[in-house]
Amino acid sequence: MDLRKAESALLVVFGASGDLAKRKLIPALYALYEQGLLPPNFVVLGYARTDYTDEEFRRLAYEGIREYSSEDVDDKKWQTFASLLYYQAGSYDSRESFETLSARVDELDHQHDTKNNHLFYLSTPPTVFEPITTLLSETGMAKEKGDGWTRVIIEKPFGH
């Protein structure tokens, strides 16, 4: 079987302080990391309204992995994985918040050499899909930079 190698990327998770991220997203990302399936230059930037620091977000992620993962947490692997997790608090409908987010994305791009590959994952209520995508566009984050790519994923079960 010929599997394509995953490219370096920065994953921005909108709604990162929510239940879906804690129960499903972060444990799944950790499982991929443990299995060696994430690219070497991969970083996660959680974004939500809750005012967390990077360390508080890492603690929330650790609790989610311990509680909801089917595997035990390897402390050494966790420490390395945790160093790839960051957090930015902000509003979903504020241009100023998104300009701050854009600066943080640029900073992490350079710090982790993610090649300007951006994946924006909306794990939020449907009521904020439109303001988020509009502000991604207005602040230039939806635009591809250099040889990088940009994708937006909306995670929401239909009927909600």
CATH number of domain containing 37? 3.40.50.720
Q: Is residue 3 one of the residues assigned to a domain?
A: no
Q: What is the pLDDT of residue 70?
A: 82
Q: How many domains does the chain have?
A: 1
Summarize pLDDT for 43-84 with one digit per residue, the tens. Answer: 999 999 999 999 999 999 999 999 998 878 999 999 999 999
pTM given for the model: 0.93
Residue 1's pLDDT band (cuts 50, 70, 90): very low
Residue 1 lies in a domain: no
Domain residue limits at 27 = 9-154
pLDDT at 160 exceeding the cut of 70: no
Model pLDDT, residue 40: 85
101 in a domain, yes or no? yes
Whether residue 114 is contained in a domain is answered as: yes
pLDDT digits over 125-149, tens only? 999 999 999 999 999 999 999 999 9
Cα–Cα distance, 30 to 49 (Å, whole number) = 23
In a domain, 32, yes or no: yes
- More reliable by pLDDT, 3 or 156: 156
Is residue 2 domain-resident?
no
DSSP state string for 4-62:
PPPPPEEEEEETTTSHHIIIIIHHHHHHHHHTT-S-SSEEEEEEESS---HHHHHHHHH
Q: How many CA atoms lie within 13 A of 45 on its CB side?
A: 23
Q: 102 lies in a domain?
A: yes
Q: What is the pLDDT of residue 157?
A: 61
According to the model, what pLDDT value does residue 2 have?
46
Give the pLDDT of residue 4: 66
